Structure 1
Amino acid sequence: MNVHDPAAELRANVATPFEAAQAMPVSVYTSKDFLDLEQQHVFGASWLCAGRAESLKESGDYMTMEIAGEPIMVLRDRAGDLRAMSNVCRHRMSTLLEGRGHVRSIVCPYHAWTYNLDGALRGAPAMDLNQSFCKEATGLPQVRCVNWKGWIMVTLDPDLPEPAETLKEMDDLVGYLPMENYVETFREEHRWDTNWKILAENFMESYHLPVCHGGTIGGAVDLRRMTCPQGFSGFNFHHILKDDSIALSIAHRDNTALQGEDRYRTWLLAIYPSLMITLTPGYFWYLSLMPDGPGGVKILYGGGLSPDFIADADAEQHFTALKGLLDDVNDEDRGCTERVWKGMQSRHAVPGALSHLERPNYEFATWIASRLPG
C-alpha cells in the first residue's frame, strides 16, 4: 500500500530550484498528521501575532488566543506592561478568560480562585485545610510576549530569538514607515473554510489580483510590471506603487519626510508563519492566521491609520470608504481560497508549475520544510 509522507513530499518539492518549482503537494494541506507536525514545530515554536499593542490601552485590558491548542491570555498589567500567561486555572484546569475585555483581577469561573494581573494567586476559597496547598507556589505560568513595532508577539518557545533579531532586515525595507506609531481602528475575527497555508500563499503573491479581484482592485494591476524580490529568512515581501485613487494609500499632503516613490509605495509583508501585513504611508491592514483543522483557518483581521491621517479631520470619512473596499477584497479572497480548498479534495488535484510571480510561495514552502523534523 502506498502511504504518503507529506513532510518527505514537501522536502522533495523544495529541493527543486525555484525556476523549475511546483506548488506544494496536496498532502501538506489536507493531511491531519501534517497539521499536527505544523502545530508542534511551526506554531508551537514561532512568534505569533495576538494583535496590536494599542488595543490593550489600560491596565486590565486583555485578549485571549490559542497556540497549538494551548490557551493563552495577553493583558496589560498594573505596571502598564504587556504580559502573556497560561489561561488555565491551577486548581481544576478550567479556562479563565474568554475573548477580549477588561478585568481588575482574574477570577476562575469554576471555583473563584482569583489571580492578580501578574498571575500571582490572590485567593482560593476554602483551601486552608489542605496541607499540600501553597498559595505562593500556585501562580499562572508566564509565556514570552514582546511588543515588536506595535505588534504583540507571543511564543511558547523559551529560547527563540526575539523578533527584532529574526526580522532585522525589515528595518532597511520599511523602517521609514514606523509601524509602532500607526493606530488600529478596527479588529475582527473570522473563520474561513480553507487551509491556513492557502490563505497565507494568497496574500504572498499578487499573481491572482487581475482575476480574483476583478470586481475591486484587479483592474489597476499590470502583471508585466510586477516583480517579487528574494525574501529573507524570517519573511518575504513585495511592493507595488499606488496612484492617488485611494487617498489613504499615499503619503499625507502635510508629510514632507517621504519623497519620490516612497510616497506611493505599498508593502506586502509576510512574516512567517502567519502574520500578513499590508503597509502604506497612510494606512495598514493585517491578517494573523491560526489553523482550525486542515480545512479551516481562524483569522484575526485588523487595520488602522498612520499618525498623519489619525490627526486629519477627514480621516474617518476616508477610512470608512477604505474599510468597505478592504472588506470587499477580503470577500473575493475568501471565495478564491475556499475554491482552492474544495478543488484539493479532487482525485485529480495535482500541483502545477509556479509563475515567476510566486517566488514568495516557494520561499514559504522552503521555510516550512526547514522547521520540520528529519
Structure 2
Amino acid sequence: MAKDILDPVEALRQNTSIPFEQARAMPPEVYTTETFLQEELKHIFAREWFCVGRADALAEPGSYTTCDLAGQPVIVIRDRDGELRALSNVCLHRMSTLLQGRGQVRSIVCPYHAWTYNLDGSLRGAPAMTLNDGFCKDSYTLPRVRCEEWLGWVFITLNPDSPPVSEQLADVEKMIAGYDMTNYTEAFFEEHVWDTNWKVLAENFMESYHLPVCHAGTIGGLSKLEDMICPPGEPAFNYHTILKDESLRIAMAHDKNDRLKGEERRTTFLLSLYPSLLITLTPGYFWYLSLHPVSPGKVHIRFGGGMSDDYKDDPDAKQNFADLKTLLDDVNVEDRGCTEKVYKGLSSNAASPGHLSHLERPNYDFAQYLMARIDAGRAA
C-alpha cells in the first residue's frame, strides 16, 4: 500500500516549527518529490548566489567555466581586460548553447553556425548574414549575469536584487580571517553526478557525526566526536569545527603562518554557505563541493581543492598534496555510498525521520533556511 504523501512544503513547515532540542530530520517528501524540487529551483537556485569555483582557475584571458543555474545555461569567463564576466551561454541566432565544461578560448564560437562572440559577449562576426537587411552585428551582445568574487570564490546569481556576496558572508570573512582564503590555490577540479538528492549530500557535509562510521576506512579515526563544535547557524550559512590530528601535517598551520594561534593552528572549519557551497578549510589545504540538483534523485557536483600557498615552497608539498588527493578520492567513494543509501531509504514507504543529534545542529539550521527562502519567495 502506498504511503500517504503530504504537500512537501507543508511537511517541511511542520518539521521546522519544532525547536532544535526536539527536532527531527527533514521529511522524505522534501527530498524525493518533483514538487519540492521546483520550489527549490524557483525560490532558491534562481534567487540566491551560486558558486562556480575558484577565481585562480580562471586567471588567464579566455579561461572559462560553464554551468546550468536553475535551468539557465551560463558562461563565466575572463575577458581581455582581466574582468570576470558571467554571460548567457545561449547563442543569439538559433539558440544553441555555446561552450561546455571548462577551458580556454580566444573567442566564443557557436558550434551550430559559427556565430562568433568576443570575450565581453559582443558579436564579432556571423557568416552568410549579409543578405538579411534587418541584421545588424552591433545589436547582438550576450546578456550579462551578475558575477562577484569573494575571497577567491566566484559566485553568480540570476537575481538582480540579491545583496552582494561580501555583505551576506561578512561574518564568515571575519571568522576565518586568520586562514586568508585568498592565499589558497586550486590544484584540481572535477564534475560528477551522484544518485542522491542534493540536500542529502549537503547535510552529509554539514555534520561530522557520521565520520567514525562512514569513514572508518579513511579519516574516521582522525577526528573525535567530543572535539566537534556545532554552534547555531546564521541566516546565510552554518558551520562546525573539528580538531585535526597532528599526524596529518598538511592540515596544520605552516611554520610561516603567524596569523593563527594555539588550537586555531589545527582547527578545521566546515563551512556551509547557502544554498550549496560546502568548504572544508584547514590551515594547510581546502576542498569544496558546489551542488546543483539535476532531479530529485540526482545531484551535479563541482569538486575542487588545493593547498595554502604557505606550503608552496616546501620540497614535499606536491607529494603531500598528491597523497591528500588520493585520500579525498577514497573519502568521496565512502560518501557516495552513504548518501546514495540514504536516498534509497528516503524513497521507501518505510521512511520516517528520526530525532537529530546535538552534532546535527547545522542540519536543523539548513532546514530553517530552506523554509525561510521558500516562504519569502512565495510571498514576493
TM-score for both structures, normalised by structure 1: 0.97
Which residue in the other structure is 2:199 paired with? 197
Which residue in the other structure is 2:237 paired with? 235
User: Which of 366, 369, 374 is the matching residue for 2:368?
Assistant: 366
CA distance in 1, matches of 2:104, 2:256: 37
Please say if 1:14 is aligned against 2:49.
Answer: no
1:363 is aligned with what amino acid? D
1:75-133 C-alpha deviation (Å, 9 max, x unpaired)? 10010111110000001100111111111111111111111100011112222332332
SS at match of 1:176: helix
SS at match of 2:178: coil
Which residue in the other structure is 2:254 paired with? 252
CA distance in 2, matches of 1:2, 1:262: 49
1:127 is aligned with what amino acid? M
Which residue in the other structure is 1:92 paired with? 94
Which residue in the other structure is 1:134 paired with? 136
The question of whether the paired residues in 2 share the 8 Å contact of 1:56 and 1:75 is answered with yes
How much does 1:331 deviate? 1.0
CA distance in 2, matches of 1:62, 1:254: 33
* Structure-to-structure mapping, 1:191-230, within 5 angstroms: 191-230=193-232
What is the percent sequence identity of the aligned residues?
59
Which residue in the other structure is 2:65 paired with? 63
1:178-230 C-alpha deviation (Å, 9 max, x unpaired)? 11121001111111110000000000001111111111111233323432101
The question of whether the paired residues in 1 share the 8 Å contact of 2:223 and 2:244 is answered with no
CA distance in 2, matches of 1:162, 1:96: 28
* Structure-to-structure mapping, 1:1-374, within 5 angstroms: 4-372=6-374, 373=378
- Shift in CA distance, 319/9, structure 1 to aligned 2, threshold 3 Å: same
After TM superposition, the runs of 4+ consecutive aligned structure 1 residues lying more than 4 A away are none
Give the number of equivalent residue pairs: 374
1:286 is aligned with what amino acid? Y
CA distance in 2, matches of 1:179, 1:237: 16
1:14-43 C-alpha deviation (Å, 9 max, x unpaired)? 011111111101001000111011111111
How much does 1:2 deviate? 6.0
1:248-296 C-alpha deviation (Å, 9 max, x unpaired)? 1001123333221111111100000100000011100000111110001
How much does 1:66 deviate? 0.6
How much does 1:150 deviate? 0.4
2:258 is aligned with what amino acid? T
SS at match of 2:351: coil
CA distance in 2, matches of 1:73, 1:269: 26
CA distance in 1, matches of 2:303, 2:239: 19
1:358 is aligned with what amino acid? E
CA distance in 1, matches of 2:258, 2:9: 50
The question of whether the paired residues in 1 share the 8 Å contact of 2:179 and 2:260 is answered with no
TM-score for both structures, normalised by structure 2: 0.96
How much does 1:177 deviate? 0.8
**Structure 1 portions without partners, runs of 5+:** none
**Structure 2 portions without partners, runs of 5+:** none
How much does 1:135 deviate? 2.0
The question of whether the paired residues in 1 share the 8 Å contact of 2:223 and 2:245 is answered with no
CA distance in 1, matches of 2:51, 2:206: 17
CA distance in 2, matches of 1:273, 1:40: 13
CA distance in 1, matches of 2:145, 2:152: 18
The question of whether the paired residues in 2 share the 8 Å contact of 1:145 and 1:153 is answered with yes
